[in-house]
Structure formats: C-alpha cells, structure tokens
Amino acid sequence: MNQNELRKNNNLIAQHNDLIESFPEMSKNCLKLFELMVSRLDSTKEQREVKIRKDAIFKVIGKKSHHRNDTLRNVLKELQKSALFHLKAATPDSKEVIISPISKVEWRERDGYIKVIFSPEILPYVTLLKGQFTQYQLPNIIKLNSKHSIALYKLLVENNNAYEYYLNKGNRSHSQLYSYSNPIISVSELRRITNTKDKYKQFASFRKFVLEKAINEINVKTDIFVKYEKIHSGHYVTEIQFHIRKKSVDANEENMKHIETVQQTKNNREMEDNKLVANAIKSNYTQLLLENFLLTVDDLTNTAVLIGLAKNVYPKYDTIKKYLGSNGVKQHIDYVKNHIKDIYRHTNIVSYLNKAAQNYIKLHDWVEK
C-alpha cells in the first residue's frame, strides 16, 4: 500500500515495530482508544493534532448508557495515566526510552468531538514512518474483547507483514520466510507482551486463560488464522511456534491449507525428535550419566528428557571433550554428581545438567561451536 492510500484510509493504522513491541500496561478500552486516535493521524505528515467524534469513541469502548460524558472523562483520564510506551534498547550501547504519547486531550460537553494532541516524542513512531513498521486495520482491533488478544494479534501481524513484504521483494531464503510466517516466541516473551509475568504461573493456566482464549478470538474475529505448537526443553514448555495465515475469501479452503501446513511441520518435527531420541540412547554420555546415577532407567523412556539431552546438553559435553578430552567430561559429570541436590534428580534433570555444563564452559572461557 502506498503513502497516498495510507493517508486516505481512516481504518488503517501504521505504527513503528518498536512501538508495536513495547506493549504498555493499559486496559482493553485504553488500548482500543489509543489505536483509534492513531488511525486518525495522517501518517504521511508530521501531524500532532486530531479531532475524533465522541460517537466513534463510544462505539470503540461499547458504552451505551446515559452517563456518556462521565464515561468519556474517566477513560481519557485513565489513558493519560497508563499510556506509557517502554522502548527497550536494541543493543547495550543504545538507549531505553519511555514515551507518554498524549500531551493533551480537550473537549466541551456540548461538542460532538474531542481534540487530541500527541507528544512530539511519539511522532517518529506513528507519522513519516521510515524503516520497519506494521500496518493493520482498526476494525480487527475493535472487534477483540481481550487486551491479551490485542497484544498477540499486533505481534503476529507484524511477523506476517514481514513475510508478505519479503516474499514480494524476493531477497530472503525459504527458511527466513518460513520463520516470519511461523515465528517461535518464548513463553517469557509472551508473558511480557500480555502483562502476565505474575499471573497464571503454571503454564497450563497460562495456556488456558491467556494463549488459547486469545488465539480463539483472533481466529474468529480478525483477518488472520493462527495455530500453535508447544516447544519443550526437558519437562517444561519454553517456546511457542505460531503458524499464521491471512484469511482468504474462501475461509474453509484457507483453513484446510493451513491445517495441512501445520501437519507437515508437525511431521517434520516428529522426524527430527525421533532422530534426537535415537542419538541420545546410543550416546556414550547417556551411559556415563546412568553410571553416575544422574539418569534413571525411567529417563530412557521419557522422550522429552532424551530430546533435551541430545539437543542442549550433549553438544556442551562435546565442547568440554574438545578441550579436556573424555576424562574432562567424566570429571565434570563426577563433580555434578557430588553437588546435585536430590530435588533436581527427579524434577528437571535436563535443565540442571545443561546449566551446569554451560557454567563450566563459561568458567573456562571456551566458545561453543
């Protein structure tokens, strides 16, 4: 879409990716109201002031009672207090920035509109956009009833827009394109963007009340269709891989194509996992860990443990072996055996062994290959 189309389309929102990824701790209504305000900016000009009809605001926040002015006043006050965008530093040398996007909002009860004045600091992220930015339609945001859904939708659209952009440009490999439309996001990052770091601490609860509810709502109400898979490290789910597709005119056909893609990805992952399991079972490291009672016979039937060993732990043992030989690995494992607490033997042994080997390598200042 060119800049003229951006200017003419009041339903189209364009925001810099750094802003998309900042995820302020705002309520659902404040998030929607901010998106409405940005949609009224002319993104091709350095514009600070917009007028928004009150009816459009009430449509966004769903208020139909007689106390509309009180509702408007309260939601605008809440927006002024909570709308803070924390842009994290991309490198150790770059700055972290916290931006308050709205300088002032003013209105009169008898008028049918409000006037919003944006702060100068927010303008580079919503107008005269250069570099990486994301476009999406306002109605897709307005339809969502959960702030978790809004945050996840914007992040997934950012990835899918990158896929479509580089697909047309033709300067990315197949694997790079795949990573855009099938992004892997850590659970800790998902907790950050949904502001649930201190909520739903068990993954099962997080999955039920945040992840699946958001994905179900996105699939029903927006222009994208999403599936996901869990990625384990040992006994724990540490990452989620999303599979994103734009909905076509024939939604059923699109869903079938999407299901086929997800199934093929699942089959490929199962083949890779089977290979890792086989490698772990026949590895000399496995026998060494058994002899030192760091693994049990039951662990040999646990595919998650075997995959975690082959994928994360044994490559580190190879690094130790490279510098100290087989005896060096034996000495390290003997040290771990004498210092491990019983709780780790029966809960998350893979994570413990991985951390121990990683610290050992860092201690010697080796570079893993």
Query: Which residues of the chain form beta strands (DSSP E)?
Result: 12-16, 49-53, 85-87, 97-99, 102-106, 113-118, 133-137, 184-186, 224-233, 236-246
Q: Does one domain contain both 113 and 41?
A: yes
Residue 55 reports pLDDT greater than 50: yes
Give the contacts of 72 (CB within 8 A, at least 6 positions apart).
54, 57, 58, 107, 114
Q: Residue 60: what pLDDT?
A: 86
Q: Residue 255: inside a domain, yes or no?
A: no
Look at residues 127, 142, 157 and tell me which one is the last residue of a structural domain: 142
Report pTM: 0.65
Place of tokens 């945050």: 151
Contacts 24+ apart (CB under 8 A), 261-270: 262/227, 262/229, 265/182, 265/229, 265/241, 266/229, 269/229
How confident is residue 363, by pLDDT bands cut at 50, 70 and 90? confident
Query: Are residues 196 and 125 in contact, defined by beta-carbon separation less than 8 angstroms?
Result: no
Q: Residue 153: inside a domain, yes or no?
A: yes
Q: Residue 275: inside a domain, yes or no?
A: no
Q: Does one domain contain both 289 and 241?
A: no
For position 35, which CATH number holds? 1.10.10.10
**Nearest partner of 38 among 129, 112, 106, 111, judged by Cα:** 129
d(CA 80, CA 101): 9
Q: Residue 173: what pLDDT?
A: 85
| Cα dihedral value 36, 42, 46, 49, nearest 10 | -50
Q: Work out the average pLDDT over 57-74.
A: 79
Q: Does one domain contain both 181 and 121?
A: no
| Domain tally, the chain | 3
Q: What is the pLDDT of residues 219-245, one digit of tens each?
A: 999 999 999 999 988 888 999 999 999
Q: Does one domain contain both 120 and 3?
A: yes
Look at residues 142, 177, 203 and tell me which one is the last residue of a structural domain: 142
Coil vs helix vs strand at 227: strand
Query: Are residues 155 and 20 in contact, defined by beta-carbon separation less than 8 angstroms?
Result: yes
Q: Which of 45-54, 57-66, 137-146, 297-306 has the lowest mean pLDDT?
A: 57-66
Q: Does one domain contain both 22 and 112?
A: yes
Q: Does one domain contain both 135 and 156?
A: no
Query: Are residues 167 and 177 in contact, defined by beta-carbon separation less than 8 angstroms?
Result: yes
Q: Residue 271: inside a domain, yes or no?
A: no
Q: Does one domain contain both 3 and 136?
A: yes
Q: Residue 368: inside a domain, yes or no?
A: no
Q: Residue 187: inside a domain, yes or no?
A: yes
Exposure string of 63-79, with b = 16+ CB inside 10 Å and e = fewer, is eeeeeeeebbeebbeeb
Q: Does one domain contain both 138 and 211?
A: no
Query: Are residues 313 and 350 in contact, defined by beta-carbon separation less than 8 angstroms?
Result: yes
Question: What is the residue range of 129's domain?
Answer: 1-142
Q: Residue 274: inside a domain, yes or no?
A: no
